[in-house]
Each structure stands twice: as C-alpha cells, then as structure tokens.
Amino acid sequence: MQIRELKIPGAWEITPKQFPDDRGVFLEAYKSSAFEKAVGHRLDLRQANVSVSKAGTVRGIHFADVPPSQAKYVVCPRGAVLDFAIDIRVGSPTFGQWDSVLLDDVDRRAIYLSEGLGHAFIALEDDSTVMYMCSAEYAPGREHGVSPVCSEVALDFPKTGRDGSPLELLLSEKDTAAPNLAEARESGLLPTWDAVQAYLATL
C-alpha cells in the first residue's frame, strides 16, 4: 500500500497493492497500521455511506462543522469518479485550492480527507458506486455545502466520461443552491485552520 499526501494538507491518496489470479483479484482497501503511520492518528469509523451515480453527477462540495467535522475515507468499488479535496479552512496556506484523485475499479485507489476539508466528486460513467467511511455520523444541522461550480474554487470537471462520451453536469437542488466560497466565508460557515488543527491535536 502506497500513501501519498496531496498538495492540500490533510488529504492523502492511497494506492493498494493488488493480487490478481485466475479467480479475480484481492487487495487491502484499508490497513490501520499503514494509515496511522502516514496520517498520524487512527480512523474512528462511525458511519459508512454508499452512493450510486449516473455519468455527470456531481456531489459536493460538502463539509461539516468542526469539531468534530467528518473525515472521509473514500473508495469506488464500481465505475469511476474524479474525487476532489478542497481546502475550505479559513487561514490555511492553501485556502481555496484543491487536488483530485481518480477513483475507479481498475487501480482501486482511495482518498482520505481529514476533518475540515471540503469533498466533491463527479461520476465518469453510469452506476459509479462510491463508499465513504466516515469518522462521524451524519448530523443534518452540522452539514454544509459550497457550490461545486463556484468560480473561485474552479474545480476542473472532465468534459468527457470514461468511454469518451460528453459529460453533462448533474447537480442536486441543494448543491445548486449552495453559496459560493466567498459567501460561505463571509457568513462564518467555513471551518478555520486553527480550529481544525486544535481538534486534530486531540485525536
């Protein structure tokens, strides 16, 4: 298992070693010892979610209040998605920036997003299945969003899917109505770098 920190502090790409044979393939999708060595603390799993999306579906940018926020370990067992880690932590040296990882059923990578980061992805083919292992349960009053088409964040969504066909962005009403980054910051909705670091120090 190879673990690489992305350009956004607090986000990692995890590439498992795969063991194929004539029956199929085996891999370790998550390994606590390797994870803890790279990240510096254990993942306290509290909830696991699964979404199935048609090509072009965009989910995000989602985040939760700090503390405790909601760290996410994300895999795509079927299909393909481009997954984004967005730095929405006010005061962070990379505030407003993002990085991405292709999650699919070929390389079977994962992405880990620590507390305080924004998360989004776009499905690159129909029936793309994403599993999120989360450090906190869903709490409606503490969950928030930033528009995934915010021009300040400027996520670079692919124009074509896995099969080369054009992608049309599909957003939920909630994500469409979400504020842009500046609006979320001005309203005090975003987590701060200092609050996130203080919380991470307790883990």
Q: Any idea what the CATH number is for the domain that residue 113 is in? A: 2.60.120.10
Catalytic annotation present for 62: yes
Report how far residue 113's alpha carbon sits from residue 99's, in angstroms, rounded to the nearest whole number. 11
pTM > 0.75: yes
- Total residues found in the chain within this entry: 203
Strand 98-104 to 80-86 pairing = antiparallel
**pLDDT score at 28:** 97
The contacts of residue 17 (CB under 8 Å, 6+ apart) are 1, 2, 27, 28
- The residue segments making up the domain with residue 24 are 2-201
Q: Is 144 a catalytic residue?
A: no
Are 76 and 133 in contact by the 8 Å Cβ rule? The answer is no
**What Cα–Cα distance (Å) separates residue 26 from each residue in 16, 18, 20, 43, 112?**
10, 6, 6, 22, 21
Q: How is residue 141 annotated by DSSP?
A: G
Do the bridges between strand 72-78 and strand 98-104 make them parallel or antiparallel, or are there none, so unpaired? unpaired
Catalytic residue among 30, 62, 138, 199: 62
Q: How many domains are contained in the chain?
A: 1
- pLDDT reported for residue 134: 97
Per-residue pLDDT, 61: 98
pLDDT by residue for the chain (203 residues), tens only, comes to 999 999 999 999 999 999 999 999 999 999 999 999 999 999 999 999 999 999 999 999 999 999 999 999 999 999 999 999 999 999 999 999 999 999 999 999 999 999 999 999 999 999 999 999 999 999 999 999 999 999 999 999 999 999 999 999 999 999 999 999 999 999 999 999 999 999 999 98
Backbone phi, psi, residue 171, to 5°: -120, 150
Q: What is the pLDDT of residue 130?
A: 98
Catalytic residue among 41, 132, 138, 199: 132
3-state secondary structure 157-197: CCCECCCCCECCCECCHHHHHCCCHHHHHHCCCCCEHHHHH
